[in-house]
Every structure is written in structure tokens, then in C-alpha cells.
Amino acid sequence: MQNLPYMNYRNDIRNIAIIAHVDHGKTTLIDAMLKQSKVFRDNQTVGELIMDSNTLEREKGITIMAKNTAVVYRDVKINIIDTPGHADFSGEVERVISMADGCLLLVDSVDGPMPQTKFVLRHALQRGLKTIVIINKIDRPNTQIAEVTSLIHDLFLELATRTEQLDFHILYASAKEGIACTEPDKPGKDITSIFDCILANVPPPRIENGLFQMLVSNLDYDSHKGRIAIGRIWRGTVAPHDSIISINADGDVNYHEVAEVFTHLGLKRLKVDQAEAGDIVAVTGIEKVSIGDTITSPEQPTALPRIEIGEPTVEMTFGINTSPLAGREGRFCTTRQLRERLYRELESNLSLRVHDTNSPDTFMVKGRGELHLAILIETMRREGYEFEISKPEAITKTIDGKLVEPVEVLTIDTNDEYIGVLSEILSKRQAKMIDMRNDGHGNVRMVFNIPTKGLLGFRSSFLTSTRGESIMNTIFMGFEPWQGEIISTRNGVLVSSEQGFAITYGLSNAQGRGLTFIKPGTQVYEGMIVGLNSRLQDIPVNVCKEKKKTNIRSSTSDIAVKLTPPMKMSLEQAIDFVIKDELVEVTPKNIRLRKKLLTYSQRLRSTSAARLSVKSRAK
């Protein structure tokens, strides 16, 4: 490697990011790297998906936040960055990729390159990262290694920005079994071939001469140590008690004293007396700092380029809870608390945007997709916040006087028996099929272009209509001219007409009209949605209604009423379900659905007013 006069290289370190489509095995591969590099004691039980340490990550089995770890192999420290593969969290990949010099691109040996594979590879190549391809899950039956390899070559041809990027290594692995090899038919005993390939091919970090400079790429918090700024040192060294400055997005400068400096090893952070350029470190003592800020020596105060993140595609309002049951279940229920929490999220959640609205109690929150926003809602609910949210909507904007909307590529892997039903649902949602491949065994991959608004609420009907047997993936494509409203095809809802507690008799009557969402004993209020009507319009139902008492016992009427179990909705399903004139009420204990206007007469007045305005516009 050429040694430029003003640069040095550190051969004792490699910085790599692990990137891939969702579920292709990134976190599992890091398990193998951690276990095989012996960062744990022999008798220590560490489990699986070790890096998915956040509670929601463990529950959902996906990575949500990018995280750092490190292993030592042949005296070289390999700093590893685990990234999420789900498109909604792709902002995380953009955020952390600048810390790495190389990346491992994992591709499933059966599924092959998927939309997010392309997205992450494009970012890695644009950043000039040295890429090593790992075809993973070679233990799966029906692997298609030859086809997958050729698709990977096609992808590189399409995305490479320099010819030398086409010269990449391919390894074959089963992350789950902890094995890797350089030839697909000669399985290894461990993953040393991956470690060796990293050492031989990923360039060691370059070090610029000069005084301390680091880009903050991640934040953490510790109740004793306070805020922890994590990033790669580009220049100089940092040690406890150093005086440094931070430079924020507006160029404002703040002075700080470094408290402690840590480097990573396994799941631990090691306190060090000094850290040098090229390493990824965690620094405490810097209270006022956000991701994207530069921290640097005051004597050479230059800011590094800020991290650029793609724009959000979906928005929804967050407001204080205005239901009759408000304030009973949450610890934080006021506008001030909600506002403070949402704006605090911006310090670390880079692809999120928050704006005040005309109403002081409501905030507009914009994110990368329904799941991105749902994770924020679930996190806040668990922290004790109580609030209400509106239906998510695609973000439109005007470019050159034309209204445009976000459009995504939707990839569906399914069985050929579902082609008809899916095509029908999707055409109503303005999707256009651009590709369909059948492997001759009934497995079909369909690819569509679809406006983001058409995807909202699609996931649940997709899962029911294909009986949970299919997989869908989406990825943002760009903005295109607005194609007009999509007419909602959801049925009407059963709306509680009373305040009180639902009882079996009332619910049984409601079940005569459709599906119910609540069980007997549930507290309800007027305007709360308690079920789905079997017809298109909303109807009020009295689920608190008791059976009239009579003195005469009839042999049939006293037989206990048997209720069908209620349909219970998760937060994501609830967000998917509601339409424009409805809200989801979120508290630490409950997720309720409601009409925005609670009384029947209010709703009646608003629909007739809407009809009148349509008529007058038609004239």
C-alpha cells in the first residue's frame, strides 16, 4: 500500500461494517466472530444474537440500531459495526458506515441479493469501502450458489464506481454453524477464513497528521457516566481531562473536558489512558453533543462533513391523549413532556424529523416507514408516555410546481397460488408489476413499483391473504408525480355508543354485526372503536348493554352466551388499521382505537358538512 507523505496507517486495527438485507445473518455472524475469538470466559453463557441487546430487538428478532463491538485476531483488533437490514432503519447504515474502511456484504444462499442488499452495497461502494462478499446460510437446503454468485456480479457491475471494486473476494459461510470457507464444496471448521480475508484485504485505517478530531456517529447513555459519544478518531489522540470542543450543525462551538475514554472489546468497553487515530472509541464528559457533530481539539477546530441521511417518506401526528380515559395509565402525559421527548429523539434518530403544528398539543413526526415510527411509539409507551397518534401518511412535496409522492419497490416471495389475489389487492393500491419470476416449483418472486401511500396498511392484508406464507420487502425508490387518492376499501367499524365496561351480552349483540376487538370487562367510552363492521359504514353499538331481567326463566335464553374470542391487535396492526378520521390511543397499558370525533352527532355533522362541500365544489 502506498504511504502518502501526510498519512500513516495503523496496521494493528481494521474497521469493518457488516451489511446485508434483513435476516441474511449479520448478527448471527457476529455471534460466531465473538465466540471464536474467545472474548468470553469459557464457562460464560452468552446465547444467540448477542448484539441485539435492546428489548425490542430481542422481541422482534431484528436489529434496529447499529452497534459497535470488537474482536482481536492475530494481534489485530477488528472493530465491527453491526447494522440493521430492514429498510425502515436504513438511516442507521448511512449513519455508521463512515466509521469503516471495509465491509462484509452477506447474501443469503437461497434468496440471493434482495432490494436492501443493493441499497447497502451502493452506500458502501460510494464511500469507497473494500467489500468482501459472504454467501451465507450454505447449510440451507436448496442453496443456489451459482445463480446467487452471478447475481452478485451483476449487482457489482451495476453499482461499482471504480473498476477495482469489481475485484472482490467471495467466501461461503454458515454463520449459524460458525463455519466459513473459500470454496463452497470444502466446508471449513470455523470462520478463520473470514478473519484472514479481513486482515489481508481490508485496508488498515489511515491516520491524518494533526490534533484530535472525531465524528460522533453514535450516542449512548449511562446513569453514572452520563452521555457517551461514540465515533472514529480521524486525527490525533484523546485522553481523560483533555480540553476539547464540539461543533454542531449550525457551527456553534461548545467547550468540554473529556472525562473517560473507552475502546471496545467484545461486549465490554475498556477504559484506556489514551486512544489514537484509526480506532473507534467511546468518550464521556461531553454532555451537549448530537450525532453528526465533530469533537476536536480547540487548537485545530475543523468540522468533519456531516452525515447525510435520506429523507423521510411517512408522517403522522403525535398528540397528547384527549380520550375520556386520558391521564390514568401513563407517567408522562403533558404536552411539555411529549414535546421534550420527541425532540430529544432527534439527537440519535437521524432519519426522524419532528415539527410543531398549528395545534400546540400536536406534533408532526416524519420517519422512514411505518415500522420506524412504530418502534419509536412502542419505546415511548414502555418509558411511560401516554399519547395519541394519527394514521400514517406518505409525505408529498412539490418539485417544479408539480406534486410528487414517494414510490417504493415492493418485492414479494410467494407461492403461485397467491398471484391472483395479490395482483388484485395491489392494483387497487396503484402498484405496477415490473417483474415476475417462477422457479418452476411453484415459488414466485414478484416485483412492483408502488406509491408509499399504497403500501400503508398493506402488510396485514398481505399476511392474511397469503396465510402468512409469503415474504414482502420494500425499498424507497424516489419521488414521482402524484397518482391520485387511493379509495379505502376497509369496512366500517363498530363504535361504542356508551361509556362504561363491556359485558358479554352487549358484546354478543355486537358480534352479530361483525368482529369485535375487546373482551368483557374492558373499559370503553363513547367513540371508541370496539370492532369491525361486516359492511362499509360505521355503526354505533352498545357493548355495555345488559340483558333485561325478567322473572320468567326460559330454558334457552339463560344458556351462557358464548363469545368468539376478540381479535387482538398489536401496535403495528392498529397503526395499519386506522383511517383518516380515527386515532390510536397509546398508553403503557393499552392500545385503543377511537374515532377522532367521539359523539355520533359530531360525526354525522362532519360527514354532512363534507358532502355539502363536495357538492358545492362540483357546482
Ligand X SMILES: Nc1nc2c(ncn2[C@@H]2O[C@H](COP(=O)(O)OP(=O)(O)OP(=O)(O)O)[C@@H](O)[C@H]2O)c(=O)[nH]1
Cβ 58 to Mg ion, closest distance in Å? 11
- Give the span between the Cα atoms of 375 and 64, in whole angstroms: 9
Binding partner of residue 139 among Mg ion, ligand X, none, CB cut-off 5 to 8 Å per kind: ligand X
Q: Would you give the binding string for ligand X spanning residues 36-75, x where CB under 6 A is met?
A: -------------x------------xx------------
Residue 171 contacts residue 182 (beta carbons within 8 Å): yes
Residue 11 contacts residue 199 (beta carbons within 8 Å): no
Query: Alpha helices of 429-583 — where are they, by DSSP H?
Result: 452-455, 458-465, 504-511, 571-577
Per rule CB under 5 A, is residue 256 in the interface with Mg ion? no
CB-nearer residue toward ligand X: 51 or 99: 51
Single residue of 14, 21, 26, 341 touching Mg ion by CB under 5 A: 26
Single residue of 14, 26, 429, 603 touching ligand X by CB under 6 A: 26
Residues in the interface with ligand X (CB under 6 A) total 21
Cβ 346 to Mg ion, closest distance in Å? 24
Q: Would you give the binding string for ligand X spanning residues 394-433, x where CB under 6 A is met?
A: ----------------------------------------
Number of H helices, E strands in the chain: 14, 37
Residue 454 contacts residue 408 (beta carbons within 8 Å): no
Which three cell numbers, joined as nine digits, stand for 455?
A: 403500501
Among residues 608, 582, 580, 607, the alpha carbon closest in space to that of 593 is found at: 582
Cβ 378 to ligand X, closest distance in Å? 16
Q: Quick one: which segment of 21-29, 263-271, 434-442, 537-545 binds ligand X (CB under 6 A)? A: 21-29
CB-nearer residue toward ligand X: 26 or 603: 26
Per rule CB under 5 A, is residue 28 in the interface with Mg ion? no
Cβ 142 to Mg ion, closest distance in Å? 23
CB-nearer residue toward ligand X: 175 or 320: 175
Which single residue brings its beta carbon nearest to ligand X?
Answer: 85
Single residue of 67, 70, 77, 84 touching ligand X by CB under 6 A: 84
DSSP 498: S
Among residues 250, 185, 242, the alpha carbon closest in space to that of 213 is found at: 242
From the CB of residue 472, how many other CB atoms can be counted at a distance below 10 Å? 18
The CA dihedral of 589, 590, 591, 596, to the nearest 10 degrees, is: -120
Which residues, in sequence order, are CB contacts of 188 under 8 Å at separation 6+? 179, 180, 181
Per rule CB under 5 A, is residue 466 in the interface with Mg ion? no
Three-state SS string across 303-342, please? Answer: CCCCCCCCCCCEEEEEEECCCCCCCCCCCECCHHHHHHHH
CB-nearer residue toward ligand X: 94 or 526: 94
Residue 533 contacts residue 514 (beta carbons within 8 Å): yes
- Give the span between the Cα atoms of 495 and 541, in whole angstroms: 6
Write down how long the chain is: 619
Binding partner of residue 386 among ligand X, Mg ion, none, CB cut-off 5 to 8 Å per kind: none
- Give the span between the Cα atoms of 35 and 178, in whole angstroms: 9
How far is CA 40 from its chain centroid? 30
From the CB of residue 559, how many other CB atoms can be counted at a distance below 10 Å? 8
Which three cell numbers, joined as nine digits, stand for 185?
A: 464444496
Per rule CB under 6 A, is residue 90 in the interface with ligand X? no
Single residue of 15, 174, 284, 414 touching ligand X by CB under 6 A: 174
For residue 589, the one-letter residue type is: K
CB-nearer residue toward Mg ion: 82 or 315: 82
Per rule CB under 6 A, is residue 190 in the interface with ligand X? no
Q: Quick one: which segment of 70-78, 82-90, 146-154, 363-371 binds ligand X (CB under 6 A)? A: 82-90
In a 10 Å sphere around its CB, with 0-12 CB exposed, 13-18 middle and 19+ buried, how is residue 282 labelled?
Answer: buried
Per rule CB under 6 A, is residue 139 in the interface with ligand X? yes
Per rule CB under 6 A, is residue 24 in the interface with ligand X? yes
Helix, strand, coil % over all residues of the chain, rounded to 5: 25, 35, 40
For residue 50, the one-letter residue type is: I
CB-nearer residue toward ligand X: 84 or 319: 84
Which three cell numbers, joined as nine digits, stand for 8?
A: 500513516
Cβ 111 to Mg ion, closest distance in Å? 15
Q: Quick one: which segment of 23-31, 268-276, 521-529, 588-596 binds ligand X (CB under 6 A)? A: 23-31
Single residue of 14, 95, 130, 137 touching ligand X by CB under 6 A: 137
- Give the span between the Cα atoms of 447 and 451, in whole angstroms: 13
Per rule CB under 6 A, is residue 35 in the interface with ligand X? no
Which residues, in sequence order, are CB contacts of 609 under 8 Å at separation 6+? none
Cβ 133 to Mg ion, closest distance in Å? 18
Binding partner of residue 410 among Mg ion, ligand X, none, CB cut-off 5 to 8 Å per kind: none
Single residue of 13, 15, 16, 27 touching ligand X by CB under 6 A: 27
Per rule CB under 5 A, is residue 86 in the interface with Mg ion? no
Q: Quick one: which segment of 80-88, 186-194, 212-220, 428-436 binds ligand X (CB under 6 A)? A: 80-88
Per rule CB under 5 A, is residue 522 in the interface with Mg ion? no
DSSP 385: B
Q: Would you give the binding string for Mg ion spanning residues 31-70, x where CB under 5 A is met?
A: --------------------------------x-------
Per rule CB under 6 A, is residue 25 in the interface with ligand X? yes
User: Which residues bind to ligand X, rule: CB under 6 A?
Assistant: 20, 22-28, 49, 62-63, 84-86, 136-137, 139-140, 174-176
Q: Contact positions toward Mg ion, by CB under 5 A? A: 26-27, 63
